[in-house]
């Protein structure tokens, strides 16, 4: 997901999305351990989304 999409979300939505992504990353790690992970790049993509989301959260409210 693009950072601009995250910037349009409210702080509550950002927190919710962060929890969802972290849960998804945990599930992907579990699948990798049990060798049921079909897309090995999926965990990397989720980690990048989490990093984008945390960056937007750290930026704070945008002034326009």
Domain ranges of the chain: 3-59
- CA–CA dist 6, 52 (Å, integer): 8
Q: Please, what CATH class does the domain formed by 3-59 belong to?
A: mainly alpha
pLDDT number for residue 60: 79
The one-digit pLDDT tens for each residue of the chain (64 residues) are 788 888 889 999 999 999 999 999 999 999 989 988 888 899 999 999 999 999 999 987 765 4
pLDDT number for residue 64: 47
pLDDT number for residue 35: 86
pLDDT number for residue 62: 62
pTM of the model: 0.83
**Cβ atoms < 10 Å from Cβ of 39:** 10
């Amino acid at each position: 997901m693009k950072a601009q999409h995250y910037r349009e979300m409210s702080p509550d939505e950002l927190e919710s999305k962060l929890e969802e992504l972290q849960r998804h990353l945990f599930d992907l790690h579990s699948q990798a351990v049990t060798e049921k992970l079909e897309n090995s790049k999926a965990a990397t993509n989720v980690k990048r989304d989490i990093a984008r989301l945390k960056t937007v959260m750290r930026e704070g409210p945008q002034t326009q």
